[in-house]
Amino acid sequence: MEKKNRMQSTFVVWLGALICCALWGSAFPCIKIGYQMFEIPQDAVVTQILFAGLRFTLAGILVILIGSVLSGNLLKINRQNAPKILKLSLLQTVLQYLFFYIGLANTTGVKASIIEGVNVFIAIFVASLIFRQEKLTMGKLAGCLIGFAGVVLVNLNGNGLDMSFHLNGEGFIFLSTVAYAFSSVYLKRYSKTENPVLLSGWQFISGGLVMTIMGLLMGGKITKVTATGIAMLFYLACISAVAYSLWGILLKYNPVSRVAVFGFMNPVFGVILSAFLLGEREQASGIKSIIALILVSIGIYITAKVKEEKVEETK
């Protein structure tokens, strides 16, 4: 009970979720830097899938090793958790990132970031209307709309935003957000009876291996390997390992809406960190980014303050 109360405190939820978002936000510029180190062209989607597969497989190994050491027992798959792990890996790793990489190759980064922001709405709708894990309230919707406005604002730079729509571009990015939203809801459900760290580690390993094999079979090749490149790959793996495991622990003890709403911070952190790491200072500077950060913060605060009523979850 003490641990549950601690993980539900406002300070722990905000700190933990913001750490996750900062790590995920750093992935945007670090992936670009990683492509440069491994000499992977921006349009080499198959090789990018291979690169992602290696990253997630390594992330899963790190999670299982560290989790096993901390718990004193090997976190292993059994007959009860195997189906849950496979479903999570399909949604969280395989489908989300396959749709994302293919979609990103056929649309602009600006539109992709804005569409990705929709995942918060989808996660809350799925948790409320389909799985009945919580109530859908006007307060949550208002908070989401304000936060989403911040995501749109931080990405409005006059380039790459129009009303065109292509299934293999914007459509695939949207499907990526749907896969992610469902994975968050399933992770919360499964964490009631399973260790979220175990679920995180093994879903990364299984999903990462599938993506690695797919990348190789489709002709993906990594031709340049350096010590700095391996270090960057290791950091990207650590991002996934730490952020997703911590996110799973937060979801275990809190409503999906209270945690998922922090997803609006991902593109904000991405823009800010890209300014420092990639020199993209024009988009991150000025009053626009400050207002965007304020809007996202207000949206998170409103959604997080909504009082929860117990509901009977759909099995």
Report pLDDT for 282. Answer: 58
In this model, does residue 284 exceed pLDDT 80? no
Report pLDDT for 158. Answer: 54
Integer Cα distance of 54 and 66 in angstroms: 18
**Cβ atoms of residues 285 and 275 within 8 Å:** yes
For the ranges 79-83, 218-222, 304-308, which has the lowest average pLDDT?
304-308
- pTM of the complete model: 0.83
**Cβ atoms of residues 249 and 197 within 8 Å:** yes
Integer Cα distance of 35 and 27 in angstroms: 12
In this model, does residue 124 exceed pLDDT 80? yes
Integer Cα distance of 24 and 20 in angstroms: 6
Integer Cα distance of 72 and 62 in angstroms: 15
More confident residue, 2 or 240: 240
**Cβ atoms of residues 42 and 194 within 8 Å:** no
Q: At what angle do helices 109-116 and 172-190 cross, to 10 degrees?
A: 30
Q: What percent of the chain has pLDDT over 70?
A: 88
Name the phi and psi angles at 134, rounded to 5.
-165, 175
In this model, does residue 313 exceed pLDDT 60? no
In this model, does residue 309 exceed pLDDT 60? no
**Cβ atoms of residues 53 and 213 within 8 Å:** yes
Buried b (16+ CB within 10 A) or exposed e, 66-101: bbbeeeeeebebeeebeebbbebbbbbbbbbbbbbb
Residue 162, both tokens: 């129009």
Integer Cα distance of 92 and 43 in angstroms: 23
DSSP code, position 314:
P
Q: Averaged over 236-259, what is the pLDDT?
A: 91
Average pLDDT, the chain: 84
Report pLDDT for 18. Answer: 93
Report pLDDT for 246. Answer: 93
In this model, does residue 310 exceed pLDDT 50? no
Residue 201, both tokens: 């580690």
180-225 pLDDT, tens digit per residue, is 889 989 999 999 899 999 999 999 999 999 999 999 999 999 999 9
In this model, does residue 269 exceed pLDDT 80? yes
Q: Averaged over 170-176, what is the pLDDT?
A: 89
Integer Cα distance of 27 and 23 in angstroms: 7
**CB-based burial label for 311 (10 Å; 0-12, 13-18, 19+):** middle
In this model, does residue 112 exceed pLDDT 50? yes
Q: Averaged over 139-150, what is the pLDDT?
A: 83
Residue 299, both tokens: 């949206």
Report pLDDT for 207. Answer: 96
28-73 pLDDT, tens digit per residue, is 789 889 999 999 988 899 999 999 999 999 999 999 999 999 888 8
